[in-house]
Each structure stands twice: as structure tokens, then as C-alpha cells.
Amino acid sequence: MIVSADKATEILRAEGIAAIPTETVYGLAGAITSEKALKAIFETKKRPFFDPLIVHVADERQAHSLVKEWPEVYHTLAQAFWPGPLTLIAQKSPAVSDLITSGLDSVAIRCPNHPLGLQILRELKIPLAAPSANRFGKTSPTTAQHVETEFANKVAVVDGGACEIGVESTVLRATFDPQIRFWTIEILRPGGVSRESIGSALTKANYHFKFVTPKETRSSPGSLEHHYQPDSPLILVRREFTETDLKKEISQRSMIVVDRILPLELPEAPELAARRLYSQLRDLSAPGVALVFSIRPEHLTPPWEAILDRLQRASTSQI
Ligand code: TXA
Ligand code: MG
């Protein structure tokens, strides 16, 4: 059910939920002050309660109200990338519901860069918890129509057009060692803002820092091994195959009968590839179809990090 931004604001104020556009993917939003709305988000998505939600804010000032402390480095990053696809993990204030954080003592915050998403946040004056507007584990929606299909027209959706970025935000956690005045930066989920641009922004502001690989996966279940899955199996292919051999391999591995193999053809420019990725996964999925993506050397370069991450998690196997 398509609704205007004003109508969505009204629904959200009345403790309902609504799907809103952001520059990355559509989010299924609820006011952070409403337990009813938060529960409805989990129920609608069939999302397990152990997977925490991202809180969307109108601006950096609103982020301050959600945390115990907002480190200087987050101010620098917010200045450089907000509104935009960067989610920052900070120590939560007691006011933030455990439903949002799954009992963690931290909260994930970002300010989305979409005129309608921002308009709703500014008018509502309450931050919005919003995971991607898809059933748990499935491909994220990048158009209002995707959301309509996903929830059988039962959820109010604001149509903000096709998402500019097309993959989710980068989730980042920074920790400070005061003794050596050094920042450790963990990318919990690669996404819309590249590691390179984060590195440049920190270098420009004279921070001493290093990137480290996150240790535990519980801190970001969006990094679950299987996530973002389309309805048809997706197979990542690293060498040449004949069509017959490919069908045989896939039938054996995915235990489905494959009538047709469809190649996922992404544009060469990574920004365009990201924008097209989820739509292609949805549009090409059909009964009896297996999707195939050939990984080439250029896909193993930094600008492709987030896309390759999503392809890997969306895939059923790699051959
Ligand atoms: O671009 C996006 O980030 C989209 C749009 C709607 O903003 N949202 C999104 O939400 O992708 P979701 O729920 O699908 O993914 C949220 C990610 C998950 O990987 C979750 O585990 C992580 O953020 N996350 C949330 N709270 C966290 C926390 N306190 N510590 C670590 N990771 C957290
Ligand atoms: Mg998601």
C-alpha cells in the first residue's frame, strides 16, 4: 500500500510501522519509543530477536540523545559522510530499548541520505529503528514495488524511487586506546562508504588509527553467512564451465532441478553494479532457474568489496 510521506509520519506517530526510502535500501521503520512498533518490525520481517536494528536519525544532534558518549572520531566521520551510508556503533544510553539492540550495550546509528526519509525523520522528531524492508535472510528491497511484493501489499510504503546506492550502509565500530592515543577501526559490514574513503577522512583529520578484522560475528548478524538470498539459487563461478556441466553441478549441490541457467550481468562500474544488484537478483529469480555470477579478477578489488560480500552471502554455493 503506497502512502505519502505525511501519511507515513502520521502512521509512525501513532505507533505503527511504515517502509521508507533511504539511499541504500528501503527500511521497515518504527518509532524507537514504541515497543508496539518495534515488535511489529520483528514480526513482519520474521526476524529473530537476536538481530539488532539500526536507528535512523535526522542529524548528528539527535544521535547524541541515544548514546552515553559520542567519540570525537564519530563527529569527524559524521561530518564527512552524513547524511549517508555509514552506520556508527556507540555505547547506548539507558533510554534505548533492549528490543533495538538485542540486549547489547551498544547501538547502531545512521543518518540516511534521502529527501523523503529525512523529511519523515525531521517531522516526526523521534529516531526510527529500521532494518531493511525484507523478510529475514532475503534480498533487500531497492524499490517501493519490491517492498509491496515482499509483504503482499500489507505494509504502508513511501515511494521514493529506486535507491541510489543499492547496497546497505557500512557498519563501523571505533575503539580508542587512551594510553597510546590510537583508534582501532572495525568494519562489521562493508557497504555504501568504502574503506578507502573512511581511511582518507581519518588521515585528513590527523587520527592515528588502523583497520582490524572484527573478531566476533555476533556483533553484526547482518554478517551471517547466509543472508540476502534470492528465491532462485545463486552460484558463484570462478572458472569456465559448459552449460551442461554447470547444470549438473548445480543440481547436485542445490538439490533442485535446474531447467535454465541465467547469468547475473552487472555493469562494470561498481557504483552502477551495486545499484542494480538486488533488482537483478529479484527480477531473474523464477522456478527452475539457477542464477550464475562469474567472478573475475576486477571483482576482487576494493571498490567491489561490499558487492562481493553480498554476492557471497546470497549464494548457495561457489564452484
Ligand atoms: O543501509 C542500511 O543500513 C539499511 C537501511 C534501511 O538503513 N538498514 C539495514 O538494516 O541494513 P539491517 O537490520 O538489515 O542491518 C543492520 C545491521 C546488521 O548487520 C546488524 O547486526 C547490525 O547492523 N547492527 C545493529 N546494531 C548493532 C550493534 N549494536 N552492534 C553491531 N552491529 C549492529
Ligand atoms: Mg537486512
- Cα dist. 299→40, 236, 268, 303, 310 in Å? 38, 12, 9, 8, 12
Q: Which one-letter DSSP state was computed for residue 136?
A: T
Residue with cell 548478524: 221
Predicted local confidence at residue 318, as pLDDT = 87
Distance 45 CA to ligand 2 centre (A): 10
* Residue 112 Cα: closest atom of ligand 1: 7
Chain-centroid distance of CA 71 in Å reads: 23
Q: How far apart are CA 162 and CA 188, in angstroms?
A: 26
Backbone angles phi, psi at 22, to 5 degrees: -130, 175
Q: Are 58 and 121 in contact (CB under 8 A)?
A: yes
- 25 Cβ below 6 A of ligand 1: yes
Predicted local confidence at residue 225, as pLDDT = 66
Neighbours of 75 (CB within 10 A): 14
Q: pLDDT per position in the chain (319 positions), as tens? A: 999 999 999 999 999 999 999 999 999 999 999 999 999 999 999 998 889 999 999 999 999 999 999 999 999 999 999 999 999 999 999 999 999 999 999 999 999 999 999 999 999 999 999 999 999 999 999 999 999 999 998 999 999 999 999 999 999 999 999 888 899 999 999 999 999 999 999 999 999 999 998 876 555 555 566 778 899 999 999 988 888 888 888 877 767 778 899 999 999 999 999 999 999 999 999 999 999 999 999 999 999 999 999 999 999 888 8
Predicted local confidence at residue 220, as pLDDT = 53
Distance 28 CA to ligand 2 centre (A): 10
Predicted local confidence at residue 216, as pLDDT = 63
Distance 288 CA to ligand 2 centre (A): 26
Strands 27-31 and 128-129: antiparallel
Q: How far apart are CA 205 and CA 212, in angstroms?
A: 19
- 107 Cβ below 6 A of ligand 1: yes
Which-ligand-closest: CA of 193? Answer: 1
Q: How far apart are CA 33 and CA 186, in angstroms?
A: 29
Distance 141 CA to ligand 2 centre (A): 9
Q: How far apart are CA 293 and CA 129, in angstroms?
A: 33
Q: How far apart are CA 145 and CA 77, in angstroms?
A: 33
Predicted local confidence at residue 253, as pLDDT = 75
Predicted local confidence at residue 227, as pLDDT = 78
Q: Are 223 and 190 in contact (CB under 8 A)?
A: no
Q: How far apart are CA 197 and CA 206, in angstroms?
A: 14
* Paired strand residues for 289: 260
Give me 89's grid cell. 556503533
